[in-house]
Amino acid sequence: MVKNYEKLFERGKIKNMSLKNRIVMSPMGTFSENHDGFPSGAQIEYYRRRARGGIGMLIIEAQYCTNKTDPWIDYITTADTDQQMKGWSYIIEAIHSEGCKACLQIGCGLGRNAFPFSDAQMVSASEVPSFYFPDKLCRAFTIDEIHDLVGAFGRAAQRAVVAEADAIEIHAHSGYILDQFMTPAWNKRTDEYGGSFENRMRIVKEIYEAMRAAVGPDFPILMRMAADHDFDGGRTLEESIQIVNYMKELGVDAFDIDMGCYEDKQWICPSIYQGDSCMVDYAAKIKEACDVIVLCAGNHSPESAEKALEEGKVDYIMMGRPLIADPDLPNKLLEGRREDIRPCLLCNQICVGRLYENRKIGCAVNTVAVAEQDYTFKKTDSPKKVAVIGGGPGGLEAARVAALQGHHVTLYEKNNVLGGQFNAASAPKFKHRLREFIDWEILQCEKAGVVFKLNTTITPDSPELEDKDRIIAAMGASPFLPNIPGIENAVEVCDAHLHPEKISGQKFVVCGGGISGCDEALELAMDGKDVTIIEMQDQLCPTALLDNRNPLMFRLRDNHVKSMVSTTIKEIRPDGVVAEGPDGEVEVSADCIIAAFGTKPNSEYVDALCEKYPTTLVIGDCVKVGQVAEAVRGGFFAAYSLH
């Protein structure tokens, strides 16, 4: 057994519950349950697989103790029934069968933050605006509804014990319903559930007391809440300390501490821009001030997690998305195989983005996630000679999966390095995980026996293809440079990342406000440069996921990056640009101009290749420019389809 992560693999204890290590899986909604709320086979196997990976405890995604709060969860007809308890028992037994403890997170809904999947009126502590529809007011809970809610929590706790859960957690974070009662920004009530601190805490106090009465004095009860809401008018750290001390005196055994809420949304699923272990310092302040057991999530790497434990900032490390990306993360650390851990990119593309689409979640880099039953690897009885054209993330994933199935795979890359556009995209320090992912793909391909042929351009007439049984084309995309006068005076953004010697000076203009342009602008600004972004659309990164766009915009703001939107580049000169904006023509001087106009598919040979070799599978950006999930998942599916 290795000693590199001694604190992570130290035993722990919450109340009478003993844990084999300090790694806990965060509760993350999968949207994979059946229509009535009963767990599906996919959901059960998803949890079984994470438990098998070696975590100490798994906190099951929020289980709603009622379907009478948010209109969008009225489909959960099993809520507050013994049928729901039976479903919980299936999940919990699957977790226990892998030597892991199971904690059931119990909630009552999102209230004003509910997803806009229904036109029905939202409900909250008070008549406050809905988050997604600010022009629509929520209705306030009645006293009778509050009493019903308290009773539902108590019954849920009792059923959790029957289902053999090891612990339960009160869901009171992110500005959801209980948080809406706790926080003056949303609680404007004048009855016994509003006004003073004690009144605002009354519903949570009554819920805790109902749950404690149901489970007895020795059963662990946790509470999840934010240390700071991080918006003007939200709850501050000082107020959170008051709440934690209050709930501690009532008897709550441990606190699951995170950050933020939906306002200025950036902490619910923190992005790559917040950095590693981004919420741990706030959790540490709660631990220090209140002397309680603290669990904390938020972009942990194994190294930053170990450091947080060593420094005594938290007691348990919570991981959600990293365990979706690689459920075996704990076991691989324990076995000394750090390099074999598939890194989470913190991209939020599938694990969060699909929630906005009312779909079950997945993972951009682990196609099998929440589909463990559907994809199993076994060696084929009829191995084929497979050519993969292109060594970007999609091509590497296709090569890896094909090789794991026993095929003889050769990957051809026209450049002298593998990685495709990830080589440039991973250049900023805050995007080091992209580099780690490419390194992981290369290593796994090598272990699986993939043969790499670098500096090799493949066309439909290349002799290398003549003896191949199957071809997967993953030629990727190339930078798009529009026909703007003086475009030759600009440095293309990928070139700027890969060859920093090509850029110099103090004052920069970045032409193009998509993700690549904004990342380059942020990197330059973090190095102390004066940066202006010019974008023809009316906002920067208009199609980016809110959970990613917000933190990026905040980082740009904090690093004093200027922007000009609804502005078109008319000419690029050696000393600046001429642009047309809402107020007419403007000249912006610069020492260096970066061209970040996006990319175009490398589709030159695709049609001819498919015509000559009809079984060719075409994936990734050479079909349509997309994000990492389209490339990686496309590569997985193409290779998995080989029989």
List own/partner pairs for 248-253 with CB under 8 A and 24 or more apart.
Answer: 248/290, 248/292, 250/205, 250/208, 250/209, 251/208, 251/212, 251/217, 251/221, 252/170, 252/208, 252/221, 252/222, 252/223, 252/292, 253/14, 253/15, 253/220, 253/221, 253/222, 253/293
d(CA 426, CA 428): 6
Q: Is 75 a catalytic residue?
A: no
Q: Quick one: which of 29, 50, 155 has its CA closest to 102?
A: 50
Euclidean distance between CA atoms 247 and 251, whole angstroms: 6
* DSSP state for residue 557 in the 8-state scheme: H
| H or E segment and range at residue 202 | helix 202-215
Distance CA 619, CA 392 (A): 11
DSSP 301-319: -HHHHHHHHHTTS-SEEEE
Residues paired with 491 in a beta bridge: 594
Residue 632 CA to its chain's centroid (Å) = 16
Contact predicate 513/597, CB 8 Å: no
| Dist. CA 272–CA 270, nearest whole Å | 7
Assign residue 162 a region: left if phi > 0, alpha if psi is -120 to 50, beta otherwise?
alpha
- Write down the catalytic residue from 5, 46, 47, 176: 176
Q: Which residues of 26-58 are buried (b: 16+ CB within 10 A; e: fewer)?
A: bbbebebbeeebbbbebbbbbbbbbbbbbbbbb
- Burial call 335-373: b when 16+ CB within 10 Å, e when fewer: eeeeebbbbbbbbbbbbbbbbeeeebbbbbbbbbbbbbe
The total of other beta-carbon atoms located within 10 Å of residue 195's CB is 14
Pair 122, 130: CB distance under 8 Å: yes
Whole-angstrom distance, CA of residue 363 vs CA of residue 370: 8
Catalytic annotation, residues: 176
